[in-house]
Amino acid sequence: MSGDFEMINLKTGNRLTIQMDGTEIRDQVQPPAIEWCDKGQHFGLKIDGSYVDDKLWICLACNG
């Protein structure tokens, strides 16, 4: 396994990064605006998607 691990709390923007050597870095970032894609059954960036019938949200990748 290689690389760092990063977790972001989408409500608060609190971020935890754990580096390969075990070092923990805690800071705060602007959380990404994401939404559940009802067509593709995954999360996608909200800015790139659209609502269908004001109920279903479809991401740009699945809408194209």
Q: What is the pLDDT of residue 2?
A: 59
| 64 vs 5, more confident | 5
User: In the chain, what are the domain boundaries?
Assistant: 1-31, 34-63
Rounded CA gap, 57 and 55, in Å? 7
Cβ neighbours of residue 18 under 8 Å, at least 6 residues apart?
4, 5, 6, 24, 25
Q: By percentage, how much of the chain surpasses pLDDT 90?
A: 64
Q: What is the pLDDT of residue 1?
A: 47
Please state the rounded mean pLDDT for residues 27-38: 91
Q: What is the pLDDT of residue 15?
A: 95
